[in-house]
Amino acid sequence: MTWPLGQKLGGKLTKVGTQITEAFQREVPAEEIDLRVVGIAEAQRLLRSGRVYGAIVIPSDFTKQLGIFATASVVPGDVTQPMITVNTNPRMGAFGTQIVVKVAERVLAETNDIVGAQTTEMVEAQLAAGGRSAELVGLSRLLLAQPIHVKVTPFHPLLDGTGNGLTPFFYALLLLLAGSPVPW
């Protein structure tokens, strides 16, 4: 995870990315998962060296992206949904990949609901303060309820034909089942 910069949302300095990072630290049991908060360069180094199962990357301008997304719910213009990337490390095996995906899905789903409720409330308060109707149209309300797009992607995916990193296991299993003598 990275340390996101702050941004003014609803008139006050907010660091949504930092709040998400803190939610992970609270929700993920330290005795089960070794969760580290590092910068993007360090995360990539750890992934390349095979020392971590995955990384959850929150862009440094995440709060700014969220503010633009919230504004776009009532003001016309092009916008993209704020994104958090979950990088899995396929070189650590399928089991490690699934651990990262399951933990990220659980915490980010809950986080998305909380951030969505806060963002909707902030937009409605801004509309009411501006003397406009605080009622959001259906599509805006729907998008603001789940404002974060979570993208799961493998970090340096394995080549085709590698068996998702399980080829040595299946080769050893084949040797055992075929009855081939082990040369020791």
Q: Output the DSSP codes for the chain.
A: ---PPPEEETTEEE-HHHHHHHHHHHHS-TTT-------HHHHHHHHHHT--SEEEE--TTHHHHHHHHHHHTTS-S-----EEEEEE-GGG-HHHHHHHHHHHHHHHHHHHHHHHHHHHHHHHHHHHHTTS--PPPHHHHHHHHS-PEEEEEESSPPPTTSGGGTHHHHHHHHHHHHTPPP--
Q: What does the pLDDT read at residue 7?
A: 55
Q: What does the pLDDT read at residue 165?
A: 60
Q: What does the pLDDT read at residue 10?
A: 57
Confidence (pTM): 0.76
Q: What does the pLDDT read at residue 3?
A: 36
User: Domains along the chain?
Assistant: 7-178 (3.40.1710)
Q: What does the pLDDT read at residue 158?
A: 67
Per residue in 146-175, pLDDT tens? 999 999 999 977 666 666 666 677 677 777
From first to last of its 184 residues, the chain has per-residue pLDDT tens of 333 444 555 566 578 888 888 888 888 888 888 889 999 999 999 999 989 999 999 998 898 898 888 888 877 778 889 999 999 998 888 888 899 999 999 989 999 999 999 888 888 887 887 776 667 777 888 888 899 999 999 997 766 666 666 667 767 777 777 765 655 5
Mean pLDDT of the chain: 82
